[in-house]
Amino acid sequence: MLTAFRNFGASKTSKALLLVLVLCFGAWGIGDYLVNSVGNDAVTVNGEGLSAAEVQRLYEARTSQITTLLGQTPTPQMLAELNVPATVLQEATGRAVMRQSAAEALLMPADSAVKDEIMASPEFGGTSGFDVTRYQDALARAGLTMAAFEKSVSADMSVRLLGEIAQTVRPAPAVAASLAALEDATVMLDVVTLQASDIKDLPPLADEDYQTFLNDNAAAFERPEVRDLEILMLTPADVAATLTLNDDDVKAAFEAAKDTTYADKTFEEVRADLEREMKTAEADKAIFDVQNEIDDRVAAGDDLAKVATDLGFSTTVLRKTPRQYVAGVDAAVMNAGFETEAGDVSFPVDMAGGGVAYVAVREVVPAYVPLLADIKEQVKTMAQAAQQQKALDDQSLALLSRVKSGELSFNDAGAVTTLSLADKQNIPNWLEPAMTTLSGLPVQSVLPNVLSEGKTRYLVRVASRTLASPDAEALDVAAGALRRRLQQDYETLLIAERVRDADIKLNDVRLRQIFGAVPEVR
């Protein structure tokens, strides 16, 4: 699980996102506790449960921040490549672990401090400051008692107290001067670029080679399980539309509010709106009644589509659909469709926007790997590319070995280009993983490993390094930057160490529908 910290930040974009997602003491606000916690624990950390709603809310909050940063909604693939799901799961468990650590250290705020914290929160502010009614309503919507909420706020404040005793100090001027000189140094690199397309005269592959490649890489060619699903979704609006109101009841409701809500309005002017409001109010109870009837009829063997038609509802049919996001269908509903046996109907599934859904599984086509004869061109293309890539890797490593041993000069390893690192904001992505190593290499030294990006490999040598002469302002900036960096690293390592030793269990399989492939959490 700790690989999330190491892997996140491999590109300039993800480094910017890391500023959004970095976990540090007291980095979350009071509003983070206003989340409905009803339901089974999705994750347990040393016995403390985190609800699926809490983890999903955190994921959605971070996705929203990234959307704002990028100016567009990130795709699930983009989030996965940036390790956002793993980082969010790390943050959720990290929060729990640090709350527990603060409690162990007896760092508990006074009741008066908790009260001040809550009263100062904008979530509960009215026109004239703290609004008790707004506070109580917010907790009711979240399904929280005052005691539970205040306990959560107290735990959050205790983490901030822990952060206050874990502060790093500002580095000495000599250390800052060295940092500034290195940070602003002008570094020139010699680079030999090797391309896969330059690899020629490879031995031809035979059918048995393609079959072996297919066998060894079966997962890359596997066709996923697909299913025919028929879904009945009962939303409050759908159920409300089937309700019939008694005219006398509608008129009575109008009479009760004609001097307030409907002042200066006639009955006919507000009738449509009033009926809609009354139906909406009755929809929750009506859904319960409809659900009971569906349960009874499905249990008796009635087909789900017929039940829906008889009750005045329509169904959504998905044909040959894999287990993936489908617009307009809750992730939990899709998950139920893939956990129900062929020919069966799922248990009722609560939907995020309210209401319930049922899924009838009409047909299941299991996952399979096609025969070579059916996908030979695809296998052939990938096998030849892999052969070429391996040859490139072998050639790159052989050249680097000869250069390091002195058998071959760097200039004779290939065409050499010069790369300046004067602009720290425009460092190539392929070079970023080696920046720490490069900072310690003497001039004319060769980077000890081959760098890669796609079908390209790079050999790198430090051509020259000219240190900067920082002025007083640059020294002050460098000292502040180093302290912040050390503080962030210290907090990250402290949290990671506590998470590593924690007893963490991922309980809710539905989280995999939210997060995709969740890493091992130990």
At 49 the pLDDT is 79
Distance of CA 10 to the CA centre of its chain: 16
Q: Are 123 and 32 in contact (CB under 8 A)?
A: no
Query: How far is residue 25 from each of residues 6, 100, 504, measured CA to CA in Å?
Result: 19, 13, 20
Convert the pLDDT of each residue in 150-168 to its tens digit. 887 887 788 777 777 666 6
- Tell me how far apart the alpha carbons of residues 222 and 370 are, in angstroms, rounded to a whole number: 7
Q: Are 191 and 459 in contact (CB under 8 A)?
A: yes
CA angle 519, 93, 81 (to 5 degrees): 40
> How many Cβ atoms are within 10 Å of 457's Cβ, its own excluded?
24
What is the residue extent of each domain of the chain? 3-169+479-515, 186-206+386-466, 226-318+326-365
At 30 the pLDDT is 46
- Tell me how far apart the alpha carbons of residues 498 and 421 are, in angstroms, rounded to a whole number: 37
What are 511's two structure tokens?
Answer: 């989280």
State mean pLDDT over 48-63.
Answer: 77
**Residue 193's beta-bridge partner residues?**
458
> Which residue reads 């009738």 in tokens?
271
Convert the pLDDT of each residue in 286-318 to its tens digit. 788 888 999 999 999 999 999 999 998 999 999
- Tell me how far apart the alpha carbons of residues 336 and 297 are, in angstroms, rounded to a whole number: 19
Please check whether the two domains, 186-206+386-466 and 226-318+326-365, share a CATH topology. yes
- Residue 125: band (very low, low, confident or very high) from pLDDT cuts 50, 70, 90: confident
Give the total residue count for the chain. Answer: 522
Q: Are 155 and 103 in contact (CB under 8 A)?
A: yes
- Tell me how far apart the alpha carbons of residues 199 and 387 are, in angstroms, rounded to a whole number: 10
Q: Are 520 and 1 in contact (CB under 8 A)?
A: yes
Give the residue from 331, 314, 326 showing the smallest Cα distance to 234. Answer: 314
Give the residue from 378, 356, 89 showing the smallest Cα distance to 220. Answer: 378
Query: How far is residue 266 from each of residues 263, 277, 518, measured CA to CA in Å?
Result: 8, 17, 58
DSSP line for 43-79: EEETTEEEEHHHHHHHHHHHHHHHHHHHTSPPPHHHH
What are 195's two structure tokens?
Answer: 């391309």
> How many Cβ atoms are within 10 Å of 501's Cβ, its own excluded?
11
pLDDT at 4 over 50: no
Percent of the chain with pLDDT over 70: 81
Q: Are 464 and 188 in contact (CB under 8 A)?
A: yes
Percent of the chain with pLDDT over 90: 32
Lowest-pLDDT choice from 238-252, 328-342, 468-482: 468-482
pLDDT at 60 over 70: yes
- Tell me how far apart the alpha carbons of residues 329 and 351 are, in angstroms, rounded to a whole number: 9
What are 250's two structure tokens?
Answer: 């509608």
- Residue 14: band (very low, low, confident or very high) from pLDDT cuts 50, 70, 90: very low
At 260 the pLDDT is 76
At 437 the pLDDT is 87
Convert the pLDDT of each residue in 477-513 to its tens digit. 777 776 777 677 667 777 777 777 778 776 655 554 4
Alpha helices per DSSP H over 165-266 = 173-183, 207-216, 218-221, 236-241, 247-257
pLDDT at 29 over 60: no
Between 364 and 258, the higher pLDDT residue: 364
- Residue 208: band (very low, low, confident or very high) from pLDDT cuts 50, 70, 90: very high
- Residue 416: band (very low, low, confident or very high) from pLDDT cuts 50, 70, 90: very high
Residues 372, 378, 381, 383: is their CA dihedral positive or negative? negative
CATH class of 186-206+386-466: alpha beta
What are 302's two structure tokens?
Answer: 């009635």
Q: Are 62 and 493 in contact (CB under 8 A)?
A: no
For 288, counting Cβ atoms within 10 Å of its Cβ (0-12 exposed, 13-18 middle, 19+ buried), the class is: exposed
pLDDT at 398 over 90: yes
Cβ-proximal residues to 258 (8 Å cutoff; 6+ apart), any chain: 265
For 458, counting Cβ atoms within 10 Å of its Cβ (0-12 exposed, 13-18 middle, 19+ buried), the class is: buried
> How many Cβ atoms are within 10 Å of 483's Cβ, its own excluded?
16
Between 323 and 25, the higher pLDDT residue: 323
CATH superfamily of 3-169+479-515: Porin chaperone SurA, peptide-binding domain (1.10.4030.10)
Query: How far is residue 78 from each of residues 17, 83, 235, 331, 356, measured CA to CA in Å?
Result: 12, 9, 31, 19, 31
Convert the pLDDT of each residue in 424-455 to its tens digit. 778 898 998 888 888 778 999 999 999 999 89
Mapped onto helix, strand or coil, the DSSP state of residue 39 is coil
> Which residue reads 């690199």 in tokens?
189
pLDDT at 231 over 70: yes
Cβ-proximal residues to 350 (8 Å cutoff; 6+ apart), any chain: 332, 356
Residues 406, 408, 414, 418: is their CA dihedral positive or negative? positive
**Residue 416's beta-bridge partner residues?**
192
CATH number of 226-318+326-365: 3.10.50
Q: Which residues of 161-183 are buried (b: 16+ CB within 10 A; e: fewer)?
A: bbbeeeeeeebeeeebbbbbbbb
> How many Cβ atoms are within 10 Å of 245's Cβ, its own excluded?
14
- Tell me how far apart the alpha carbons of residues 345 and 359 are, in angstroms, rounded to a whole number: 5
What are 226's two structure tokens?
Answer: 């697909």
Average confidence score pLDDT of the chain: 80
